[in-house]
Structure 1
Amino acid sequence: MGKIWLTRRGALSLLPAAMVRPARGETPLGVPELYAADPLTGLALRGFDPVSYRLGPAPLPGSGEHEFTWSGLVWRFTGAANRGAFARAPEAYAPRLGGYDPEGVAAGRLVEADPLVTALRDDGRLYLFRDPERRAQAGTALIDAAEARWPQLKGIAAIGG
């Protein structure tokens, strides 16, 4: 049998997986993360390039060669230009509501969303949804309710950390 080596970076990527998560992707209030991360890798947006959501019909996977740490998470990019754009204005490219599903946020829960089920509004705000059905049902009233509720949930999440 060969030896299995785990690098420091590999060990750190396992930490989010070690956290106990409730079933169906719901995160309890008080969790210290302000942006949803992949529970296995710790990557924001499961490694998709946040800038690419605005450049094409579908987001592109980022590369480990082009990473940037912001808000306690590792964000990946397709190239140096996208990494630079994000580094200059991360709030402009990061998904709204911490990357959580707007329906859950409006109801007072942090529900993980799928980074491939998105809506980019005319004002440039990116929202992630748990599934296509939730995205189809999300209207302006739901988004407004989630935006109004987010500061409260974000504050609770920050206190927990």
Structure 2
Amino acid sequence: MGKIWLTRRGLLSLLAAATARPARGETPLGVPALYAADPLTGLALRGFDPVSYRLGPEPRAGLAAHEFVWSGLVWRFSGAANRAAFTRSPDTYAPRLGGYDPEGVAGGRLVEADPLVAVLRDDRLYLFRSAEHRARADATLIEAAEARWPALGAGAAIGG
């Protein structure tokens, strides 16, 4: 059986390919992305309770004891009542635009958002990458993102 030799250049090429990452905050092509998931845990909203955004000034952390799988992701809740509310109407509580930043979506990109930078607008939850993005999000930007989302979200859900 012949030996396979790896040159230093070949090793560096493999290392570069293995560590290649998308631009900061952007989703790589080929990754299902109908809803954004935490890249380390796979949890929706980084484990925050989606119902809690409507109940107080700050979202609450969800608990592993109150999980529900919906749209291919694990969603966590701070209690059984919030889990029950979500299971009855997930579209009411899940973030719009798959949880991606509206500014990125309006520009045709899936840009990660921070679940702690959120706003309820027209009874819909939107997440933003930063407070600056949230401050710039007027009705025109939200409308542009909503108009672009069906094609962008559908393309991402089938692998880009």
TM tier relative to shorter chain: 0.7 to 0.9
Q: Deviations over 1:4-27 (max 9, x none)?
A: xxxxxxxxxxxxxx9964131101
The answer for the alignment partner of 2:3 in structure 1 is none
For 1:52 and 1:114, how far apart are their aligned partners in 2? 15
Code of the residue aligned with 1:62 in structure 2: it is: G
> Is 1:150 matched up with 2:149?
yes
Asked whether the equivalents of residues 102 and 143 of structure 1 are also in contact (C-alpha less than 8 Å), the reply is yes
Moved more, 31-40 or 56-65: 31-40
Asked whether the equivalents of residues 63 and 76 of structure 1 are also in contact (C-alpha less than 8 Å), the reply is yes
Aligned CA distance change for structure 1 residues 128 and 20 (closer, same or farther; 3 Å) = farther
Equivalent residues, number: 143
Asked whether the equivalents of residues 34 and 154 of structure 2 are also in contact (C-alpha less than 8 Å), the reply is no
The answer for the alignment partner of 1:132 in structure 2 is 131
In the TM superposition, what are the counterparts of 1:44-59 in structure 2 within 5 Å?
44-59=44-59
- How large is the RMSD of aligned CA atoms in angstroms? 1.7
Aligned partner of residue 76 in structure 2, secondary structure: strand
For 1:29 and 1:107, how far apart are their aligned partners in 2? 16
The answer for the alignment partner of 1:32 in structure 2 is 32
For 1:19 and 1:104, how far apart are their aligned partners in 2? 24
Aligned partner of residue 158 in structure 2, secondary structure: helix
For 2:154 and 2:142, how far apart are their aligned partners in 1? 19
Code of the residue aligned with 2:111 in structure 1: it is: V
Question: TM-score, normalized by length of structure 1?
Answer: 0.84
Unaligned runs of 5+ in 1: 1-17
Greater Cα radius of gyration, structure 1 or 2: 2
For 1:95 and 1:30, how far apart are their aligned partners in 2? 22
For 1:42 and 1:159, how far apart are their aligned partners in 2? 18
The answer for the alignment partner of 1:13 in structure 2 is none
Code of the residue aligned with 2:67 in structure 1: it is: E
In the TM superposition, what are the counterparts of 1:11-160 in structure 2 within 5 Å?
21-121=21-121, 123-160=122-159
Asked whether the equivalents of residues 29 and 110 of structure 1 are also in contact (C-alpha less than 8 Å), the reply is no
Aligned-residue offset at 1:29: 4.4
